[in-house]
Structure formats: C-alpha cells, structure tokens
Chain A
C-alpha cells in the first residue's frame, strides 16, 4: 500500500497544529441537546418501501444473500419549478419505481406513472440505480435507470413526460449495471456516461453457468467493471471504455469523479467490491491513465462508495470510501486525504471515520452550515434473524481449494443476519481534523439496512436535507431544522460553452481570508445522486469577499461579493454585475 506511516504521522501532526479555518468563528448557536433533523417521511408522502429482487433459478437461495441491492435515489428538479424532485428505485419484478414530485411545501406526489418512468422492473430486469443527467443540453434533466439487465435512458420531454430513448441513444446492451455517473471527461461541452456493473454481463436471472460469483474475496476480476459511453452531441453515445484507457473488470459498486489535481479535467475513482479500487487520472486529452498503484495503492477491501469533497478546506478534493468493518472483518474505510500530487493518504483512523460497519453510501455535506463538510454514512447488509451468517461464510472460505466463482459453493443465507441492525453515522466535522458522531443526537441513527443517500435542499431554505434509501424497507426523508443563525450561500450553475448542467464546475468562495472549494458532481456516491447545486455553509460570516467559478470549458469568472443566505443562479459567461438572488418559480 502507498499509505506510509510517515505520511500519516505528518498529516496527524499538521492536523494537531492546524488553525481551524472556521468562517468567522463558528456554526449555528450551540444547543447541544437539540435535534436538527426531523423524520418527515410519512408526512411528506414518500414512504413506499423497497423490495429486493427474488430470483427464480437454481441459485436463487444463494443469490439472496448477495443481491440485497437496488434501493437507489437520484435528485434533480426535473420540471424546472425550482424545487428538487426525487426518483427512487424498487427492485422486485412487479414493483414500480417512483418519481416524487416536490410540491414545494415539503410534501411530494408520486407522478412516475404519468411521467412514464414507473416501469423499471420485470422478469428480466431489476432496477438498481438511477441518475439524472442532461445528455442533450436542453436544460432538462434526463433520467438513466441502471438495471441488472438492460438499463433505460428516459429523455425528459419538458411537459412532465419522459420517453424511452435507450435504443436510439445506442445504450441498449445487457449489463448488470448498478451505478452511473455523468461528467464531461473531455470537456467538449456534453456530459459522458460512466456505468459501473457488479456482475459480469451474464443473464443473472437465468445464468447458464454456476460460475458467476466473485472468484476471490480480495482480488476478484470477474465482475462487471466500468463501461464508458462518449456523448456524440446528437443524442447518441459511443462506447469508448478501452479506447480512453479505462480497464477494470472488478465488482464495481460505485464511481466518483472529481478534479484531484485542479488541472481542469475530472479524474475517476472506482470502488470495487471483493478487491482493488481503481484511480484513473484524466490526461487532459480525452484519455485516462490508471494511477492506482501510486495514488492509493492496491487494496483488497470491499469498496462500496466513492464521494469527493474537500473536508479539510485545503483547496483539494478528498475521497471517502466505505468498506466492511465488523467484528469478523476489520477492513476500515478510506478517507483519502489528497496530498496535492496525485497521491492520497488514508486518514480514516486519525479522523474517526474508519469504522462504519458494513458501509454503503457516505456523503459529504455541511449540515450545520459551519463551513466544514460533514459526513453521513449508512450501513448494514442483511438484518434478519438472530443467527449469524458469519460462521457459514467462514466455513466456506477455510475449505481447501474451494472455487469461489462457483455459486454452488456459497452457503445460502436463509433467515440469518450478516452485519445487520447497524447504526448509521453522522460525522460532524470538527474543524477539518476529526469527526464526531452526532447521529443519535439528531435522530439519524436508524438501524435499517441503508443503501443510498441523496443530499438536497428540498425547501430552498439553505439547510441541506437528506433522503435515505433502505433495502427491503421504507426510506427516510429527514428535514433539516437547524436553528437559524448559521449563514449560507448556494449556487445553481448553468454552462453555455461547458456542459449545460455545469458538472465538474468548481466554485471557490473566499471570506475572512479563507477560501472554500465546492463543485458540481455528476452523481457520486453509492446508490444515490445528491443535488447538483453547490452549497456553502458560512457560520457567522455575513460578508463574503468573492466567488470564483472555474467552468469545465476553462473559463474562470470571479463574481463580486453577494449577499449571504440566498441561492444564486450563475450562467457561464454572464455579466458579473447583474447577479440577483434566485427564487423558485412557484
């Protein structure tokens, strides 16, 4: 591993002596006993539960233990009314997906049927992920539904309806897709599509061979890997995976992009289950180079999540990856601190973010508007009966010469639990050097089997809310009710020369001599896509110095001081002197 003890020691030293760069000295008024999130799931009408797909094949009982997936969420304002809407997947063969239209009053209406996006499941396909992305630059977020089977691209027609354009777009192929993100890797003004697949592209509903399970627990290379589709700018895509230097056949669970070296080109982190995560550096010429060995080293863990954010406000994007940490398997997560030279150091132990059980989505966001990115992490694999599945799996792994790739060798899980009933973690960022778990205090410590987290400001009040999906269970909608006092500022970015949704745009806000970096991400995080809006917590700061936007096109614009506590819409190339607070249409 690249993680060297002296680097870790240096980081710890720097943290210990770092002066906190808190904006104007503080967050919201300290009321330590107060709860800042309210569970409004039922009140908001958004409580349809998820149903795991049950298979009907000779390996069904075995697959049951390894396919408790598919509870995904993606957020975007699909109808342009100024309020962020929520798309949620279900997975059973007769189950419908949900498009929750935001009514603007923290209630939602499921309009999936009317919109034409409800039918994501049938006997041959199971929904597993979702992504909003504007593939045709018309300003309307289109919807990609990742599936075990044939994924679907729905074009947003602008009238509340969607149209299946998968075949016309050249995206119709069999993949066991579980994750999709979209960013403009070659900065040609259109976002490209990156798809992560778990199983290799065999029909898992009717597998012709029993050898479709991971060949190893630590170095499996017989998974679905990553497939990249270049956007041809005419509504079609061309597969370019190997041509652009992406090659991984791991059991991919998540993809995360960000500009690691601030060169204006988005780099890629691939979180793989059963083996090595991958780090690809964008060469700036439409290709990538696999820099795993030098950037992060070769790991053997169970990567589930890859979110990027500048947790220590040093101007460089860091990466949070969840793995499995339990009594029987102490892998620990990665909090990859960006060293600024395309290498990363894992500081999860030093920062207290190491152990989140069997982790799934982990998202950076500033829930208390204090200027530091906090982390919410969901976890838990299978919460069932009292009996543990661990001895069964260990009996298998200690059997001599067992062929892991053969599903028949894996023990059925039955009603046993595996890393079940785990408490979720809300890590409050304490000035960029340590995180403190505040989940219980804020009522975010559910023990359901969490999967995805979408962060968004559903009522446009500058306080970031959460939507959490749970496998085989109801989701959670948590409304942020942080007391007033901590200031904030937010931006909706629109590209003109750059891709229209400005994915990859970086915003640097300067106040009190400190600069804070946030960016537009195109869907990072396991089973979930958060808002594409850019949000800054400002603590007690009431005046900012400047805002710099670095657009994917390369254009840099500096905007003068704007009033705090507002959302603003910034359009690439627009006059800097005429920026007014943005309000929703309704």
Chain B
C-alpha cells in the first residue's frame, strides 16, 4: 500500500472497527455483569464470552468471565471456550494467560492426578503468555505457578527466576499495591530452594515497600515448622487460588 492516503484510510477504518468492536464488547460485558448479579448464569456466560471474543486482550473481561465460571462451576466450558479463543487469536498473551488461569481454576475440584495435568497445562499457557508479552503479570503468574510443584521437579528455582524478572519490571514503573505479592512469592521461592537468608531479606525488602502488608509481617514473624506450615498451606493444591485479576485495573 504505497499510497499514503490509502494507508491513512485503512488505519481509520481499522480504528473505527476497533472502537465499534470495543464498544460492542463493553456492552456485552455490562449485560454479563447484570445477568451475573441476577444469578442468571446462562445469560451471564453468553454475554461475557461475547465480550472476551470481541476484545481478547482485555484482562477484565476474561477475568470476570472466569470468576463467573467459578461461581457456577462450569470449568470445562471455560476450558473449551479459551481453547477456541486461543486458536483464533494465537498471539493474544491475555488469552493464553487466562486460559492458564482457567486450568488453575479447575484444580481444586480435580483428583490428585487431574490436578497435575491441569497444572501442567496451565504452565504451558503461562509460558505462551510470557513469550508473547513478557509483562509483570505473566512473569509473576508463571513464577508462582512453578512454586506449586513438588520439590522433586526442581521447578522452584525456575519460579525464583521468573519472580526476579517480575520484580525487575515492577521496580521500573510506578508503585502498585499488588506488587507486594512479588516479594511474598519470591521469599517463598527462596524458602522452597533452601535459601532462608534470601527469603527473609526479600520479605524485609517487601515490608519496607509495603509496611502494612500482613502477609509479609506474618512470614517474617514465623520460623521453623510454623513457617513451613504457612508456606505449605499457601501452596496446597486442594485450595482455591485467587485468580481474580481485578487488581490490575483497580489499583
């Protein structure tokens, strides 16, 4: 397209279509939220799916959709939906990230081996997200995901590595309250890799940045078996992990 006028026209058309699509998605999202408030899950899921399809890079739509899925326990529907979406939008880091979270969301209702399969699938999607867009959320998510794996797999070190990258990213930008999580998780990663001094140091660094954070205070107050119990409890595969991403747009 050598003609500059034609290029401009094409950009304008694209932007207009994007705005129209975004507006339509927002409208579907609002309708989904309304249906959800009325506990009309059938309608809510339909609207939210249309919202995600229309704006696959919007983290809010995808996250809210998954939270709705958790409420109505339609985990397989969510997995099928994201499978379809990533095949249609293979370059969307947001979709891969949320596809990974959709696997994580199902873990508490799976048997012990299903949990492994789901966790492994989630990890694959998180890796796709990191490769497509090496963002704080992508590194943080994959880093924490590694920490759930049994020691025998030696994945905690990979988790530490990802969390250090997340820390590097967050240190370059404005302070966000949810960045405290990186310090907590990185300390847990050090603890899991038998680097206790580093664990305490990073929790202390975190507490300097976020002096009111109760989890950081608790980590530093505990020792020995109590600390072990707290960290093991954090990574208990039977417990639901909070995968709600609302911090990203509300903080």
Instruction: Identify 14 residue pairs between A and B in the complex whose beta-carbon atoms are under 8 Å apart, listed by A's number.
Output: A217-B112, A217-B113, A218-B110, A218-B113, A300-B110, A301-B111, A324-B112, A330-B112, A330-B236, A390-B152, A390-B153, A394-B120, A394-B153, A397-B117
What A residues does B211 contact at CB under 8 A? none
Known contacts: A327-B151, A330-B237, A388-B152. The answer to whether A218 contacts B116 by CB under 8 A is no
Q: Which of chain A's residues 30-88 have a Cβ closer than 8 Å to chain B? A: none
Contact indicator per residue, chain A 215-228, by CB within 8 Å of chain B (1) or not (0): 00111000000000
What residues of chain B lie closer than 8 Å to A219, measured between beta carbons? 111
CB distance from A334 to the nearest CB of B (A): 14
CA distance A330 to B110 in the complex (A): 12
Which residue of A300, A388, A390, A391 contacts B112 across the interface (Cβ within 8 Å)? A300
- Cβ proximity bits B209-251 to A, threshold 8 Å, 1 near / 0 not: 0000000000000000000000000001110000000000000
B150 touches A218 (CB 8 A): no
Q: How far is the CA of A370 from the CA of B218 in the complex (A)?
A: 40
- In chain B, positions 107-162 with a C-beta closer than 8 Å to chain A are 110-114, 116-117, 120, 150-153
Query: For B114, what are the chain A residues with a Cβ–Cβ distance below 8 Å?
Result: 217-218, 300
Nearest to A395 among chain B residues (CB) is B120
Contact A330 B238 (CB under 8 A): yes
Pairs A-B, 9 closest by C-beta atoms: A300-B111, A218-B111, A217-B113, A328-B150, A327-B150, A398-B120, A329-B112, A390-B152, A388-B152
| Chain A residues closer than 8 Å to B238, beta-carbon distance | 330
Assembly CA distance A329 to B116 (angstroms) = 9
Asked if A398 and B116 sit within 8 Å, CB to CB, the answer is yes
Q: How far is the CB of B118 from chain A (nearest CB, A)?
A: 10
B117 contacts across to A, CB distance below 8 A:
397-398
Q: Place the interface of chain A in its size category.
A: 10 to 19
CB neighbours of A324 from chain B (8 A):
112
CB pair B111 A328 closer than 8 Å: no
Q: Is the CB of A301 within 8 A of B112?
A: yes
Q: Report the Cα distance A391→B151, complex, angstroms.
A: 11
Which chain A residues have a beta carbon within 8 Å of chain B's beta carbons?
217-219, 300-301, 324, 327-331, 388, 390-391, 394, 397-398
What 20 additional pairs, Cβ within 8 angstroms, besides A217-B112, A218-B110?
A217-B113, A217-B114, A218-B114, A300-B110, A300-B111, A300-B112, A301-B111, A301-B112, A327-B150, A327-B152, A328-B152, A329-B113, A330-B112, A330-B238, A388-B152, A390-B150, A394-B120, A394-B153, A397-B116, A397-B117
Q: Does the CB pair A391–B153 fall under 8 Å?
A: yes
CA distance A218 to B113 in the complex (A): 7
Partner of B152, one of A217, A331, A391, A397: A391
A301 to B111, CA, bound (A): 7
Shortest Cβ distance from A398 into B: residue = B120
Q: How distant is B145 from chain A, measured CB to nearest CB, in Å?
A: 14
Q: Which one of A328, A388, A397 has the greatest number of beta carbons of chain B within 10 Å? A: A328
Shortest Cβ distance from residue A520 to the other chain B in the assembled complex, whole angstroms? 35
A252 to B140, CA, bound (A): 43
List of A residues within 8 angstroms of B236 by Cβ: 330
Min C-beta distance of A323 to chain B, whole Å: 9
A394 and B110 alpha carbons, distance in the complex (Å) = 16
In Å, the complex CA distance between A49 and B177 comes to: 62
Q: How many residues of B are in contact with the other chain, CB < 8 A?
A: 15
* Interface of B (DSSP majority class): helix
Please name all residues of chain B whose beta carbon is closer than 8 Å to the beta carbon of A390 when the two chains form the complex.
150, 152-153
Contact flag A394-B116 (CB < 8 Å), given A327-B152, A330-B236, A330-B237: yes
Give chain B nearest CB distance to A355 CB in angstroms. Answer: 11
Measured CB to CB, the nearest residue on chain A to B123 is: A398
Q: Is the CB of A218 within 8 A of B112?
A: yes
A330, B107: Cα distance in complex, Å? 13
Contacts of A397 in B (CB 8 A): 113, 116-117
Contacting residues, chain B, for A217 (C-beta < 8 A): 111-114
Minimum distance in angstroms from B21 CB to a CB of chain A: 34
Most chain A CB inside 10 Å of its own CB: which residue of B113, B117, B151: B113
**CB-defined contacts of A300 to chain B, threshold 8 Å:** 110-112, 114
Residues of A within 8 A of B237 (CB): 330
With both beta carbons as reference points, the residue of chain B lying nearest to A302 in the complex is identified as B112
- Please name all residues of chain A whose beta carbon is closer than 8 Å to the beta carbon of B120 when the two chains form the complex: 394, 398
Residue on B nearest A324 in the bound complex, by CB: B112
Q: Which residue of A lies closest to B121 (CB)?
A: A398
Distance (whole angstroms) from the CB of A349 to the closest CB of chain B:
10
Give A327 to B228 CA distance when docked, in angstroms.
13
Chain B positions within 8 Å of A331 at CB level: 112
What's the least CB distance linking B127 to chain A, in Å? 14
Which residues of chain A have C-beta atoms less than 8 A from B152's C-beta?
A: 327-328, 388, 390-391
Contacts of B151 in A (CB 8 A): 327
A99 to chain B, nearest CB (A): 39
CA separation between A330 and B112, bound complex, in Å?
A: 7
B-side contacts of A301, CB under 8 Å: 111-112
User: Which residue of B is nearest A218, CB measured?
Assistant: B111
Which residue of chain B is the closest to A326 with respect to CB atoms?
Answer: B150
Residue of A nearest to B149 (CB): A328
B111: chain A residues within 8 A (beta carbon)? 217-219, 300-301
| Bound form: Cα–Cα A324–B117 in Å | 17
Residue in B111, B153, B237, B238 with the greatest tally of chain A CB atoms within 10 Å: B111
Tell me, in angstroms, the Cα distance from A428 to B172 when the chains sit together.
56
- Chain A residues contacting B150 (CB-CB under 8 Å) are 327-328, 390
Q: Which among B112, B117, B152 has the highest number of chain A CB atoms within 10 Å?
A: B112
Which partner residue on chain B sits nearest A276 by CB separation?
B111
On chain A, the residues within 8 Å of B112 by CB distance are 217-218, 300-301, 324, 329-331
Complex Cα spacing A391 to B237, Å:
18
A330 to B149, CA, bound (A): 12
Bound form: Cα–Cα A330–B236 in Å: 8
Which residue in chain A gives the minimum CB-CB distance to B112? A329
In the complex, how many angstroms separate the beta carbon of B3 from the nearest chain A beta carbon?
Answer: 49
As a 0/1 sequence over residues 28 to 58 of chain B, the CB contacts with chain A under 8 angstroms (1 = contact) are 0000000000000000000000000000000
Find chain B residues with CB under 8 A from A398 CB. 116-117, 120
Between A324, A388, A394, the greatest number of chain B beta carbons within 10 A of the residue's beta carbon is seen for: A394
Closest to B124 in A: A398
Interface string of B83-116 (1 = CB under 8 A from A): 0000000000000000000000000001111101
Query: Please, how many angstroms separate the alpha-carbon atoms of A324 and B111 in the complex?
Result: 12
A78 CA / B215 CA spacing, docked (Å): 62
Q: How far is the CA of A328 from the CA of B149 in the complex (A)?
A: 8
Shortest CB–CB separation between residue B156 and chain A, in angstroms?
12
Closest to B113 in A: A217
A10 to B117, CA, bound (A): 34
A72 to B112 Cα, complex, angstroms: 28
Q: Which residues of B contact A218 (CB under 8 A)?
A: 110-114
The docked-state distance in angstroms from the alpha carbon of A329 to that of B112 is 6
Q: Considering only CB atoms, which chain B residue lies closest to A327 in the complex?
A: B150
Give the complex CA separation of A52 and B111 in angstroms. Answer: 29
In the complex, what's the smallest C-beta–C-beta distance from B153 to chain A, in angstroms? Answer: 7
Closest residue of chain A to B235 (Cβ to Cβ) is A330
Q: How far is the CA of A327 from the CA of B116 in the complex (A)?
A: 12
By beta carbon, the residue of chain A nearest B237 is A330
Q: How many Å lie between the Cα of A328 and that of B237 in the bound state?
A: 10
**Nearest opposing residue in chain B for A299, CB measure:** B111
Smallest CB separation, A350 vs chain B (Å): 15
Closest to B119 in A: A398
